[in-house]
Amino acid sequence: MKERVDLSGVSETMLVPLYSRALENNRENPAFYDKTAIEIINNLDYDFAERFKESKNKMNFWGCAARTIILDDEVSKYIKNNPECSVINLACGLDDRFSRVDNGKIKWYNIDFENVISLRNKLIDNHDRVLNISSSALDFNWIDKIENKDNVLIIAEGFLMYLSEEKVKKLFFKISESFGKVELLIELMTPWMVKNQKNHDTVRQTGAVFKWGIKESRDFEDLCPMFKMTGDYNLTNVMKRYSPIFITLISPFLKSRNNRIGKFKKIN
């Protein structure tokens, strides 16, 4: 019997990248393989194909796949250089990146609301080096549950745009003061997209509301000066592999408006 899912607003948005990762597996030469996404899609009582029609969501799906490719690569690099680190996935949704990047040593923490974590526990097998924590990212009690606070990677994918600027600032000030060596991989949205969100597929279909964006990734240093940017990855560059001619033609327009993955390191 399939698991029923009753999600709305921001929580429902986690199903878009999940479906995108499952669709990637159907491509002739997939950029990554996500067995967990396929299994979840098959075990949820939810009409993904009808709710998120591929014909209407191609750009969104390409963007989700692009950020998965970028983040998997960057997380793997961090783990290679820090083989016994803690990786914290804020607002984790139903992503199982741990299975794609695990080196056999890391400790992984998934943070999300209780209803999401409950669903994760039903759909994704437990692992002794993975801890699922029911908590808002802004309820900082989850920090007490992180064992190794001296070598930490924070992932915030598809999350920060739903917070106010003040809450974003509060979150990363707390992270900075709570952990020793800490690096960030965070998805950043532009103010243009926040302003024009009515045109975004996810907003139209889930009713979620974008609240925050910054024009350039480096502007995050002004908001949180305890962090220094070490990398900046526009999703547009990776999206070209899905439609090379089309994305190349619209690149000048898209790159200035598209999401990026910002990479930051705490200044000690």
pLDDT per position as a tens digit, 222-251: 999 999 999 999 999 999 999 999 999 999
Q: What is the pLDDT of residue 12?
A: 74
- Over residues 129-136, mean pLDDT: 97
**pLDDT digit string, tens, across residues 158-173:** 999 999 999 999 999 9
Residue reference for tokens 């479906």: 19
Percent helix, strand and coil across the chain, each rounded to 5?
50, 20, 35
Say what the pLDDT of residue 164 is. Answer: 96
109 by Cβ neighbours in 10 Å (0-12 / 13-18 / 19+) ranks as: buried
Q: How much of the chain exceeds pLDDT 70, in percent?
A: 93
Mean pLDDT, the chain, rounded, equals 91
pLDDT of 264 strictly over 70: yes
Choose between 20 and 228: higher pLDDT: 228
Each residue's pLDDT tens digit, 37-59: 999 988 888 878 777 776 567 88
Whole-number pLDDT of residue 8? 56
pLDDT range class, residue 207, cuts 50, 70, 90:
low
Domains and CATH numbers, the chain: 10-266 (3.40.50.150)
